[in-house]
Structure formats: C-alpha cells, structure tokens
Structure 1
Amino acid sequence: MAKSVTKTAREIARGEQSSRSIVESCLSAIKTKNSTLNAFSDIYEDEALSLAEERDAERKKGELRGSLHGVPVGVKDLFYIKDRRTARGSAAFSEFVPSETAPIVERLEAAGAIVIGKTTTTEMGWSGSSVSEYYGSTRNPWNAQLTSGGSSSGSASALVSGMVPMTLGSDGGGSVRIPAAFCGHFALKGSLARIPTYPWSATEMLSHAGPMTLTATDSALLFDILKGPDPRDHHALPDDGLCYCGAEVDMARLRVAYAPTLFGVDVDDEVDRVIRRAVQRLKDAFGIAVEAVSPDWVDPIKIFETLWVAGRGVAYGKKANGAGSSFGSGFANLVRQSCRIDLEDYLDATKARAVYAAGVHHFFERFDILLTPTIPILPFDAELEAPEGMGSNSDVLPWTGWTPFTYPFNITGNPAASIPAGLSSTGMPVGLQVIGRRHSDATVLAFCRDLEEKAGFFVMKGDLPELVEAVE
C-alpha cells in the first residue's frame, strides 16, 4: 500500500509505528513485487534494518535527527553513495563503487532517512523509456506490460507500488516528469540548480536532481530539506529562504495559461479528454480564468539533441571505444553519433539555447503558470523505446518523439511539475504539467498543493484518495 512521506514521518515521530516496522514492510513489498516490476537494482536489507533499530532507539530517547527520521528512501542508481555500487544502469560501470556520497543523499540521511536500496535507470539516464539492456525493463505498477517511463523508471515504479514512501530521481529531459505522468504520482523538476547536482554531468545545463513523491505536499517537505548550495555544484542556487511546506498562493490572482499542445503535436484523444476535464475542474474549484494559448515557440529538439548527445558522447567516448566496451546498443549508438557534432555545432546550440530560453521567459512575464499535458500519449509496451509507428525529430533519441513537452523546460531551466490529472478509460494515469516562471518553485508547489487539496488531483491507489473519472 502506497503511503505518503508526511504521514509515515509523523507516525514514526509519534511512536505510532516503528521505523523497523516501516522498513520491514518496505522490504516485504520489494520481495513481493520487484520480480515483476524490476524497480530496485540493489537492496541494502541488513543495513536498513540496523539503521531502523538505531532510529527507533533514538526516538525513544527523544532524539530525532530531522523531519525524515526513520523513513526509508530509494535512490536512483545515478547518485553516488559511498562504498555502494553505482552501476548507472550500465555493464560498463557494474563494478564502480564511489568513495563519496552525493549531496542530495547526504541531506536526506542528515534528516534521518534510511536508504533502502538503489532503483533502476536507463543506461546513464540516456532515455525517457524504461528499457534497459543491463537491468531489464522496468514496468508500470498499473499494468506490468507497460512502461513506467524513465529515466527515473525504478524510482517511479517503486514509489507507486508501495515499495517505499519516497525516492530520488534526476531529470535531464523529463526523467522525473515522464514516469510521474505514466505512473500517477507527483514530481517537480525544480529550477535549474535549485537542488545541487553531483557528480558532475556532461549535460549540466540540462540536468536536475530532486525527489519523487506521491503528492506535492510530500515534495514540498523534501525540497525544504534538499534545496540550497553545495560547493561541489558550481551552478547551485543560494537558498531562497522560503519554506515550501508553508508556501501559499492566491489562486485568484494567478495568471494561468493552458496550452492543449505545443509545436502542433498530436495529443492522444484520451490524454486530451482527461487534461481538459482537469483544467475545467481547476476553473470550477477556484473560480479563476484560464486562458487558452498557443505559444509560437519552435520545437527545440535540435538544440536539445546537440547538447544531450555531444555532452554524453564526448564524456564517455573513450570508454565506449576502448577494448571490450560493454555499453548497451542505444547508448553506444549515441556515442557514435556524437562524432558528427563539432565544436561549432555545440556553440551554436548553446547560443540557440539562450535565445530560446529568453523567449520562454518573456512568455512568463505575462503568465505565472502554464499548463500542458505532461506526455501526449498513454504508456506503451515496456520493451519499446517508443510506440510503434511514432517517429522522432531526432536521429539519435527515439524517446524525444513522444516527450516533446518535457525537454523544452530543461533547456530553459523553468520549474516544471507533473501532477496526476485523472485516469484514461483503460485505467492508466494521465499527467498535467505545471510550469512556472524561472525560480518560482514555491509558487508551483503551492499551486499543485491547492490542486490536490481543493480540486481532487489524485489517482493513487491505496490509502490516498483515488480519482477515477467516468468514461463517456
């Protein structure tokens, strides 16, 4: 049964449940479900149980480490944990063990959280699907034949199936929002560098780190813990000094825009139906006007492809070309294709990124919030990088053909969340993307919390409210 971070932490702090009982419940769920969903790659059973006993002893003495005391978490297998294997979804790094821990993990542990294991990811986080030649495909808890989305594929599947109450993910082109939309949970890609990202990424101008939770309320709690600078990330923003848990927004004063699509992309009829109903539910709940818009932005796929492919290709080219390279076929092809991108192409893309971002930021001088579908299609077969018959504007990144609404906001750095909007007629979650102006993370979270609390934006099974829309 899926549980919220807030509820779990409160129960432990009050002594209503022990940390050990929560950890044992998570481990039991992993043993029962992981063979089907393939969400965890490594499990730290003995260590997690030992730490849970320590947290319980501390609580009995009135010594809580922080607001996550004794709460288990799953960590995407791109983040370093000292002396723990970080394979990054790749046979090429199957034996790599870092000597330090990423700041995002350090901050969770300092707040009392217990890392229960590593969650699966696509190789080096390169793809938006859940296909992995190393781990095997990760699957959707709502229908195990279908993809969970990626690249934070295991983190989403583990969260929604109730294996853990919170996970960590990263987002370089949609990698927390894609699985959030497909699996029916909340995820915010914060403003670029709101949460420090380490180790260094070859696409540091696109890459974000952050929590994946059932609700925006849980996400706000974790952002309060995780945001703020770290010397290891030279982009990291100073702490904005805001308490996201307590942030409020005057809905009546917000200028909200709704784009049914971007770039003229066809949106699946089921997705469109659920999103339009969600927007109407928003309008009815708060009595606000939502302006339909059609931004004149051009699909920035070539900018994204150049930065994404060149960065990763150069960073891992020597290892890929070495004797006995064991990269998977998709990532190996990315490395090969990077050779056609020269320095002039790369610099042109960085300039084009600045121009494109300026245009989007100009749009947000008029609006506070932009709503779009997170993904224009429903989840598809878990063994595919893209649905059959759906092409891509990229020669190298087949997943970008079905994720055209997520990667643009990695290019611009705007905070962008996916919140459950409802279910399709086949019972699959549909995500609404909520984008705010740059650095307005608190506003986006407060807006989404109001959607949850006052407009019924839930699709979760278990002990959270379940929203199932009538099928016309």
Structure 2
Amino acid sequence: MSNDTEVTAMPCVVDAARQIRAGALTPVELLEASLTAIKTHNSTLHAFGDVYTEAAREYAETLAEEAAAGRFRGPLHGIPFGIKDLFSTQGLRTTRGSLTALDQVPQQDAPIIARLKAAGAIMVGKTATTEFGWTGSSISRVFGNGRNPWNPALTSGGSSSGSAIAVAARMVPATLGSDGGGSVRIPGSFCGVFALKGTLGRIPTWPWSATEMLSHAGPITRTVRDSALLFDILSGPDPLDHQALPAPTESFYARCDEPLRPLRLAWCPTLFGTSVDAQVAKAVGDAVRLIAGQLPVTVEEKVLPWQDPLPVFEALWAGGRGIAYGKSLGQQMDRLDPGFAALIERAKDFSLASYLAAMQQRAAFASQVHTLFEQYDLLITPTVPILPFDADSTAPPQYPATDSSPVPWARWTPFTYPFNLSGNPAANLPCGWSKSGLPIGLQVVGPRFADADVLQFCAAFEAIAPWDQRLPAMLSG
C-alpha cells in the first residue's frame, strides 16, 4: 500500500491489524490514507474537530519501526482511531461540543482511552458531538452541523455524529462513541455502520455523569467482528467506574465464529404504537424475513403491552443533566445550544420527589424488559422509525419541537432510549436501503449481560446480508 492510497481502500480494523502484522501495510501508510480522507471530506461532513496530524505521524513512525522489528504493542498496533470529543484525553482538549469548554484540557485519560492506547492504537483526532451529547440530531456550533456521507444535505444523527460519519466516510477504520439514549445507534442507523451499546457497565465510563444510569461507552465500526474485537479490548472493570462489570469470561470476537444456536426472536415492527416510515418498515421487515428463512431462529411477531417510558427518560435527563449543568453553566446560558439551554430551564421545575418517582418507574419498566427475555433470546425492532432529515434541523418536520418537552429529540427516536433505561445490550445492524440509497438500521436487543449473544447473532446476519462493500456515492464516484 502506497502513500497515495485511495480512501475507498481504507481497511476495517480486523483487516488492518492482520495486514500490519503480516508486513503488507505499515502504520505510516494507513495513517496517511486516514489523513488524506479527513482532508478530502471533513470540510463537507464535519466529522472531526481537532486533528493531531504531526503527533500522529510521529507516533506512526515509531509503531512502524516496532512492527518492522516484530514488536507489537497490542492487537490495535498502528490503527488510527477517532475519539468522540466527550471522552477525557490527557493533555488534549476535550470541548464536549460546547463553546463553554473550548479550553478544557483533562489531566487524565478516561479508561476507554487508556485501553485503546495500550492496545497500540493511534489517536488521529477528536470527533464531533452535540453539546454535552444532549441530542440525537447532529447540530453543533463548535464543529458545524454533522452531515451524512450518503447525502450531505441530511443529518448524520447524534450525539456521536462525527464518530459515525468518520467510519461511514472511511476516514478511519473505527471510532469511539457514547450512548445515553441512542447516541451510537441513531447515527449508526442513519450512516449505515454497526454500533453496539453494550450492557450498562460493560465498558467503564468516566468522569461521572449526572445520567450515569443511562450512559454507555463503546465503538462504532464497519463490521460486527471489528466491534467484537474492540469489546474484547475495552471491556472489564475499572476503579473509576463503580458500575463497571467484571471482565467477560469469553471472547466476543471468538463467539462471532461459532455456529449460531437456535434462537427465539420477538419481532416488533413498532413500539408504543409509533408510526414507522414505509421504507423503514419494508427494509426491516424484509431483513426479518431473510433472518427467518436462513438462520436457525423462530420469529414471533409481537405487540408489546409496554407503556412508553418517555416521561421517565425525560425526567431523568432533565433532573440529571439539566440540574447539574444548570448549576455550573447558569451564567453562560447565551453560549449554549438553545435546545440544551431550554433543557436547563425546564429542569428548574423538577423536584426531588418527581426525580425519585422517575427512578422508581424506571425500575418498573426495566423489569418488564427483563421479563420479556425469560421467553425470548433477542428482541428485534427498527432502530429509528424515520429516515435522515435536514442536517440543519433539530428534528424532522413530522416531529415538531414542543415547549412541553425537555428532551424533544426523544420523540423521534422512541426505540432506542427504552434500553438505556433498562441497561440491555442493543445494537444497530445495517439491514437495507431506502429508494434514494439511504441506509436503514435494524435494532437487536438482548438480555442483560448477553452482549456476546447479540454480537454472534449480528455476525450471522452480516454473513448472509453483508453491507460493508457498499460505498457512499461521494466515495465511489
């Protein structure tokens, strides 16, 4: 591979690692392909903020020398990554997508960053996020509004907007994202990439968040096996996160190569009576029929009697983030995203009693979810009920913002936040395309702690319906 490599040749994580270890590709060559792709497309798509060009090049040279000598720091030796700009990076500013934090420089790496570095990865730069990761759109006054590689007039979704864009546009093999209500799955669906929100605590998170009971960290990748490999590397306890789970007892990556056992699937074309776009419904329905016909599964279509937990989710967001940020940023409201400022204002109406009631209601809803998995192995839904909308809008026209809602974006993504409330693993699996060529996602939800089951199933689907060979027109044309 030479330094003028086409950006469409960007390998996935597993292939890049294999090529680097075999000497067929060097960390320098791979980094240069990444930097070329960023330079070519970032001004249009707004995936990256800070890009560490010179530091990354210097580190890539070191890693190339080590690889040539047969020394490898870990399974990600020499592979470039984008880092969502919510993760603390020692000595490198972490803006969190806010004009109020442009000069913030952490003194310590988040556990997920430390593990990525220890595995030999190269941090290319920070990827865009909405302000404090608060919304599912891709609006940003810090980075510019995120744009979808499949149609730059449309949103990428958020809040891990830049991370999904960077992977879909082949700027890097993989990125890190976070998910407090759908923030890896929404842009995963809109951008056509794989994203798993693992079980709460599977990958440790830090610093503390006022919505820690909802917050997950994890990778965004082009393939399921890439994600499984990264979950192997990034999972396990850390003293900084009191919610972190014990280390897994098996390899997620190895599970992807095992034969799929017979599974019982609950298939819900919608939840809570939500209207689903006809093209989304068709693509996901076709995928379910393919699954039923080619995989060892029993599929049962279900109408779940659950009540929409949106009021619970909104109470936890407003009572958590709204109050916490209102206390620290109350004097800088004019510098905040108007939607986030409105959240802070709405939070003033929440009492301790209402917050505790929401916590109790969350537990009751989560119990309903967990009870479902006593009968079924996996739950299948659309990831998002709509197609991507205008990149400069905060919501699609059929879901106008209302003054009564502190978290208006949750109204157009009702299939993702419920599983943040319950803490279940939930993945976006690219499954089809709209008439105009936009990707559509299917959501796979598993029982708590069954991350390996979700990944294994997703890998089995990927084998019969691969998506990674298809490129956005801006890359293939």
Q: TM-score, normalised by structure 2?
A: 0.95
Query: What is the 5 A alignment of 1:72-111?
Result: 72-111=80-119
Whether 2:446 is the aligned partner of 1:432: answer no
Q: CA deviation at 1:459?
A: 5.4
Aligned length, in residue pairs: 463
1: CA distance, partners of 2:261 / 2:435: 32
2: CA distance, partners of 1:309 / 1:70: 41
Among 372, 381, 393, the alignment partner of 1:363 is: 372
Identify the range of structure 1 (126-135 vs 115-124) with the bigger mean alpha-carbon deviation: 126-135
Whether 2:375 is the aligned partner of 1:372: answer no
2: CA distance, partners of 1:323 / 1:294: 46
Q: CA deviation at 1:285?
A: 1.4
2: CA distance, partners of 1:23 / 1:269: 41
Query: What is the 5 A alignment of 1:89-238?
Result: 89-238=97-246
Is residue 223–residue 468 contact of structure 2 (8 Å, CA) maintained in 1?
A: no
Q: CA deviation at 1:133?
A: 2.2
SS in 1 for 2:355: helix
Among 273, 276, 282, the alignment partner of 1:273 is: 282
1: CA distance, partners of 2:59 / 2:325: 36
Whether 2:410 is the aligned partner of 1:405: answer no
Question: CA offsets per residue over residues 213-241 of structure 1, 9 Å max, x none?
Answer: 00111000000000000000010001121
Question: CA offsets per residue over residues 345-365 of structure 1, 9 Å max, x none?
Answer: 100000000011001100110
Is residue 43–residue 118 contact of structure 1 (8 Å, CA) maintained in 2?
A: yes
Whether 2:299 is the aligned partner of 1:290: answer yes
Is residue 23–residue 52 contact of structure 1 (8 Å, CA) maintained in 2?
A: yes
SS in 2 for 1:245: helix
> What root-mean-square deviation, in Å, do the aligned CA atoms of Structure 1 and Structure 2 show?
1.5
2: CA distance, partners of 1:462 / 1:384: 25
Q: CA deviation at 1:461?
A: 2.7
SS in 1 for 2:176: strand
Partner residue in 2 for 1:256: 265
Among 3, 13, 33, the alignment partner of 1:25 is: 33
Partner residue in 2 for 1:313: 322
Q: CA deviation at 1:250?
A: 5.3
Q: TM-score, normalised by structure 1?
A: 0.96
Among 405, 409, 433, the alignment partner of 1:423 is: 433
Whether 2:399 is the aligned partner of 1:390: answer yes
Runs of 4 or more, structure 1, over 6 Å off, are none
Partner residue in 2 for 1:62: 70
Is residue 184–residue 460 contact of structure 1 (8 Å, CA) maintained in 2?
A: no
Task: Give the share of equivalent positions with the same residue, in percent.
Answer: 51
Whether 2:345 is the aligned partner of 1:336: answer yes
Question: CA offsets per residue over residues 302-359 of structure 1, 9 Å max, x none?
Answer: 1100101111112111232226762221111111110001100100000000011001
1: CA distance, partners of 2:328 / 2:410: 25
Question: CA offsets per residue over residues 411-442 of structure 1, 9 Å max, x none?
Answer: 00000000100111110000000000011000
Q: CA deviation at 1:77?
A: 0.1
Is residue 48–residue 143 contact of structure 2 (8 Å, CA) maintained in 1?
A: no
2: CA distance, partners of 1:459 / 1:346: 43
* Equivalent AA in structure 1 for residue 376 of structure 2: F
* Equivalent AA in structure 2 for residue 432 of structure 1: L
Q: CA deviation at 1:88?
A: 0.4
Partner residue in 2 for 1:6: 14
Is residue 260–residue 456 contact of structure 2 (8 Å, CA) maintained in 1?
A: no
Q: CA deviation at 1:371?
A: 0.4
* Equivalent AA in structure 2 for residue 82 of structure 1: Q
SS in 2 for 1:431: strand
Is residue 228–residue 236 contact of structure 1 (8 Å, CA) maintained in 2?
A: yes
Any stretches of 5+ residues in structure 2 without a counterpart? 1-7, 473-477
Is residue 128–residue 151 contact of structure 1 (8 Å, CA) maintained in 2?
A: yes
